[in-house]
């Protein structure tokens, strides 16, 4: 996964907003952990309960890692200031982005899935 994370950062060195799709256990969080490692960030784990983890890169830019699995209504995104995060992040990764489709339509996508026992990652 680390090799894929390195390749990803070569392709998107300035960051961007990424909707991360995949089934439970597909490797979404592990992929983002690899991104953090490559960027020399201390990975804090999945933000399943806090909804978002915020990291500051050495150059002062931000990386936001969202896990929207526990969000049941899109309106809840307004309560956490979701739209503001999209405006300030150098990197924004959103796991379970389906609930935020109003914001993620047209966003870069990362899809992680198991294909006959082999993990496939498409970005």
What is the C-alpha separation between 24 and 41, in angstroms, rounded? 24
What is the C-alpha separation between 30 and 5, in angstroms, rounded? 10
Band (47; pLDDT cuts 50, 70, 90): confident
Kindly tell me the burial class for residue 62, based on how many C-beta atoms sit within 10 Å of its own C-beta (0-12, 13-18, 19 or more).
middle
- Residue 16 predicted with pLDDT over 80: yes
Q: Which pLDDT tens digit goes with each residue over 59-111?
A: 999 999 999 999 999 889 998 899 999 988 789 999 999 999 989 888 999 99
Average pLDDT of the segment spanning 45-71: 91
Judge contact between 119 and 112, C-beta under 8 A: yes
Q: What's the pLDDT score for residue 98? A: 94
The residue extents of the domains of the chain are 2-122
Q: What's the pLDDT score for residue 45? A: 83
Band (50; pLDDT cuts 50, 70, 90): confident
Look up the pTM and report it. 0.92
Beta bridge partners of 65: 53, 93
Q: Which fold has domain 2-122?
A: Rossmann fold (3.40.50)
- Quick one: DSSP state of residue 7? H
What is the C-alpha separation between 86 and 116, in angstroms, rounded? 35
């Amino acid at each position: 996964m680390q090799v894929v994370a390195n390749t990803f950062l070569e392709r998107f060195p300035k960051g961007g907003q990424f909707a991360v799709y995949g089934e439970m256990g597909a490797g979404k969080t592990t992929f983002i952990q690899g991104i953090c490692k490559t960027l020399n960030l201390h990975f804090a784990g999945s933000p399943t309960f806090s909804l978002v983890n915020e990291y500051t890169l050495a150059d002062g830019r931000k990386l936001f890692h969202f896990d929207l699995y526990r969000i049941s209504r899109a309106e809840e995104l307004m309560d956490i200031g979701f739209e503001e995060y999209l405006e300030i992040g150098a990197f924004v990764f959103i796991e379970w982005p389906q609930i935020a489709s109003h914001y993620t339509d047209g966003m870069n996508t990362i899809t992680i899935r198991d294909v006959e026992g082999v993990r496939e990652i498409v970005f």
